[in-house]
Amino acid sequence: MNPRIKQRWLDALRSGEYKQTTGNLRDINGFCCLGVLCDLQAQERSTNWVKRNNSYGLYGEAQTLPLSVQEWAGLDNDIGGLVDFEYEKDGVMYVKSESLPEINDTWNKNFNEIADLIETQL
């Protein structure tokens, strides 16, 4: 991943300026972790989000990372990458690999927790 963009993404996720949402890159409630990355590129390139009902799209994408953002950030895929995280079930600790959207949407990790995973693993 491009180190400059990675640091901007980490700073944005930890800033408290973005409200977190699930299911879309961006919707009327906020952004997912990948949506924050998209917003950074949109700001840098003066690109506008396009509103569609209750969500927004960038470069025609509303749920996955657009190719333009992937290339700009130096990522290999539209899920941002896989990260390992620990979770507890029935008193036993497990380690699981998941995509960043799954970490954001299914595992309900907050932006600070997601930033920590990105910082150490991407």
Expressed in angstroms, the distance from the first to the final Cα of the chain is 7
Residue 108 has pLDDT above 90, yes or no: no
Coil, strand or helix: which one is 81? coil
Nearest CA to 78 out of 62, 65, 68 is that of 65
Mean pLDDT in residue range 20-28: 96
Q: Other CB atoms closer than 10 Å to residue 34's CB: what's the count?
A: 29
Among the listed residues 18, 44, 45, the one whose alpha carbon sits nearest the alpha carbon of residue 29: 18
Taking residues 99-110, report their average pLDDT: 95
Q: What are the pLDDT digits (tens) for 27-63?
A: 999 999 999 999 999 999 999 999 988 999 999 899 9
Residues 59-103: pLDDT tens digits?
989 999 999 999 999 999 999 999 999 999 999 999 999 999 999
**pLDDT tops 90 at residue 120:** yes
